[in-house]
Amino acid sequence: MAKPKRTMKGVTYKNGYWCARIDGHVKYCGKGEKGRELAGAARMKWEVKQYENRQLNAGMKVKRQELKKVKELANWYMTLPSIQQKKIYNRRVALCSHLLKYFGNKPVNRVEADEQEKYREYRIGQGATNGTVDLEVSLLRSMYHLALKRKKIHIDAMPGQFVLEKKTNPRRTITDGEFEKLLEHASPDFKDVLICAYESAMRSSEIHKLTAGQVHLDIRHISGDVIDYIDLGIFDTKTGARRTVPVSSRLKEVLKRRIENLKPEDYVFINKSKRYYNVLITTQMRFTCQKPVLHTVINPQIEKVSVSALFFIA
> Is 304 exposed, middle or buried, given 0-12, 13-18 or 19+ CB atoms closer than 10 A?
middle
The larger pLDDT score, comparing residue 126 to residue 61, is at 126
Please work out, in degrees rounded to the nearest 5, the angle formed at the alpha carbon of residue 154 by the alpha carbons of 111 and 110: 15
pTM for the model: 0.48
pLDDT tens, residue by residue, 246-274: 999 999 999 999 999 889 999 998 877 77
pLDDT tens, residue by residue, 83-125: 999 888 888 999 999 999 999 999 999 999 999 999 999 999 9
Cα 175 to Cα 313: distance, rounded to the nearest angstrom? 10
**What is the gyration radius of the CA atoms in the chain, in angstroms?**
31
69-73, 148-152, 277-281, 302-306 — which is least confidently predicted?
Answer: 302-306
70-157: CATH topology is: DNA polymerase; domain 1 (1.10.150)
Beta strands at 226-232 and 243-246: parallel, antiparallel or unpaired: antiparallel
Write down the CATH superfamily of domain 172-313: Intergrase catalytic core (1.10.443.10)
Edge-to-edge strands, sheet with 25-30: 11-14, 17-22, 25-30
CA distances from residue 116 to 156, 157, 282 in whole angstroms, order as listed: 17, 15, 28
6-15, 163-172, 226-235, 302-311 — which is least confidently predicted?
Answer: 302-311
Q: What pLDDT, on a 0 to 100 scale, did the predictor assign at position 6?
A: 53
pLDDT tens, residue by residue, 272-308: 777 777 777 878 887 877 765 554 444 434 433 344 4
What does the domain layout of the chain look like in residue ranges? 11-57, 70-157, 172-313
The DSSP output letter for 107 is B
CA distances from residue 269 to 134, 204, 206, 228, 241 in whole angstroms, order as listed: 33, 11, 11, 18, 23
The string of DSSP codes covering 187-212 is -HHHHHHHHHHHHH---HHHHHT-BG
Cα 302 to Cα 57: distance, rounded to the nearest angstrom? 60
Q: What pLDDT, on a 0 to 100 scale, did the predictor assign at position 299?
A: 47
The residue type found at 36 is R
Helix, strand, coil percentages (3-state) for the chain, rounded to 5, are 50, 15, 35
Find the largest Cα–Cα distance for the chain: 102
Ramachandran region of residue 87, left (φ > 0), alpha (ψ -120 to 50) or beta?
alpha
Answer whether 270's CB lies under 8 Å from 202's CB. no
Cα 219 to Cα 183: distance, rounded to the nearest angstrom? 29
